[in-house]
């Protein structure tokens, strides 16, 4: 897997950065690879799992926002065509 670097990050709160959708997905894939490899101790696997669940939540939020935006754009497009 190749590493991608992106400068598009959103700042949230006290200097914590939220990764882009693509970065979150890449991080999630890396976590899955580490857990599935069986080469990390159980406690570390649990910590990685927790990080993965947070990333899944972030990805879902990104997708929900994107879906809402597409719906809004579709509604706007429909209103334009009716005029």
Domains with residue ranges and CATH for the chain: 17-82 (1.10.287.1040)
pTM of the model: 0.69
Under a CB-based contact definition with an 8 Å cutoff, are residues 1 and 29 in contact? yes
- How many angstroms separate the most distant Cα atoms in the chain? 63
| Tens digit of each residue's pLDDT (9 = 90 or more) over 33-82 | 999 999 999 999 999 999 999 999 999 999 999 999 999 999 887 766 65
Q: pLDDT value at position 4?
A: 45
pLDDT-derived band of residue 9, with 50, 70 and 90 as boundaries?
A: very low
What is the C-alpha to C-alpha distance for residues 49 and 31, in angstroms, rounded to an integer? Answer: 7
Q: pLDDT value at position 3?
A: 43
């Amino acid at each position: 897997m190749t590493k991608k670097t992106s400068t598009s990050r959103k700042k949230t709160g006290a200097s914590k950065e939220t990764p882009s959708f693509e970065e979150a997905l890449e991080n999630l894939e890396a976590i899955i690879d580490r857990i599935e490899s069986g080469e990390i101790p159980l406690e570390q696997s649990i910590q990685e799992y927790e990080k993965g669940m947070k990333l899944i939540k972030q990805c879902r939020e990104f997708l929900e926002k994107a879906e809402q935006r597409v719906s809004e754009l579709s509604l706007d497009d429909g209103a334009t065509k009716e005029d």
